[in-house]
Amino acid sequence: MGGETEPEMIISEEIHHSIDNADDIEQVLDPEIPVSGIVRNLLRHPLQLITRWNWKSVVLSTIVRGSIYLVSYLLYGQSWSAITAALFVDILFRLPTTGITGSVTQSFRHATPQWLGNLIVSILLPLVGQVVEFFSHFFQEKYFYDILPASDNNAFAKTFAISLLFAVVSTLFNLYLMRQGVLLVGAGEETLSIGGDLKRVPMHIVEFVRYLPDLIARCLEKGKLIYALGAFCCFPLAIGSILGGGRGKWDWAWKSALVSTGVLLGATIIALILRRIRRAMGIQVS
């Protein structure tokens, strides 16, 4: 009997049930971890961000961000040499930074309260990433244009605003995916292959896109008009602030806010209609 219980004791000693005595957040079994505990743990054990370097985030981010620069530069009439230079610089700085920010994002997947975890991740991580992105391209175009051709017609400034918006949205989406067990690295049995992750992404894209319209629809049905109005107004304000601030132009702010208001209004109306159809069909709606 003693020989049988000893391995179990050793295993139990290796499993950390508290964020305070774990040197890697992924060793914590708690489904909910206070934001303060996550921040303390990352500050005490920053090496885990390297050992859990999220190469999946790097791969997806490089492909999507590269596509943004490619399409944007083509639309603004840039030469292929300028496009190639921009892609090269983007990949060069994105390899180390995106892997670490992806690891940080994964660390917050069990954060509670969720709204605070969302706020921290959606502000701080895009801020750090975009600062690095801005100065990488700025120095390339300002001081190394003779080696790596610079863009003209202010193409970089226009593309940067779009990239900033994508950074915020993609960070929140990555956090959402990681809460569903997708794009994880170093998470033991929860970690899937990249192929397994990609198979689940389309379904989660639909869920992510419909989340806000469904939330507003639920609030309207329950008579929570203030909550519904607050959620409805925050979306266009955020879009307008990000694009307008990233571009430094007022017209980018109000035009993008106006367009996003129309899109959200249409999506909310569709959500309300679909919810009523489901009820009419006898399907339970939360």
Which of 55, 51, 57 is closest to 26 using CA atoms? 51
**Does the structure show a pLDDT above 50 at 56?**
yes
Give the chain as a 3 state SS string: CHHHHHHHHHHHHHCECCHHHCCCHHHECCCCEEHHHHHHHHHHCCCHHHHCCCHHHHHHHHHHHHHHHHHHHHHCCCCHHHHHHHHHHHHHHHHHHHHHHHHHHHHCCCEECHHHHHHHHHHHHHHHHHHHHHHHHHHHHHHCCCCCCCCCCCHHHHHHHHHHHHHHHHHHHHHHHHHCCCCCCCCHHHCCCHHHHHHHHHHHHHHHHHHHHHHHHHHHHCCCHHHHHHHHHHHHHHHHHHHHHHHCCHHHHHHHHHHHHHHHHHHHHHHHHHHHHHHHCCCCCC
Give 3's pLDDT tier (boundaries 50, 70, 90): low
For the chain, what percent of residues have pLDDT higher than 90? 51
The pLDDT tens digits of the residues spanning 143-202 come to 888 888 888 877 888 888 888 888 899 999 999 999 999 999 999 889 999 999 999 999
The amino acid present at 12, given as its one-letter code, is: S
d(CA 88, CA 150): 12
**Does the structure show a pLDDT above 50 at 11?**
no
**Does the structure show a pLDDT above 50 at 9?**
no
Q: Which residue has the tokens 């304000």?
A: 237
- What value does the mean pLDDT of the chain take? 87
Query: Out of 27-41, 133-147, 223-237, which region has the weakest mean confidence (pLDDT)?
Result: 133-147
Contacts of residue 260, defined as CB under 8 A and 6 or more positions apart, other chains included, come to 235, 236, 239, 240
Confidence (pLDDT) at 120: 92
Name residue 34's beta-bridge partners.
Answer: 112
CA dihedral 243, 246, 252, 254 (to 10 degrees): 60
Alpha-carbon separation of residue 98 from 59, 87, 106, 132, 171 (angstroms): 9, 15, 12, 11, 10
**Does the structure show a pLDDT above 50 at 1?**
no
170 in Cβ contact with 61 (< 8 Å) = yes
Confidence (pLDDT) at 282: 86
CA 92 to chain centre: 20
Confidence (pLDDT) at 10: 45
Q: Average pLDDT for residues 254-270, to the nearest whole number?
A: 94
- pTM assigned to the model: 0.83
146 in Cβ contact with 165 (< 8 Å) = no
Give 256's pLDDT tier (boundaries 50, 70, 90): very high
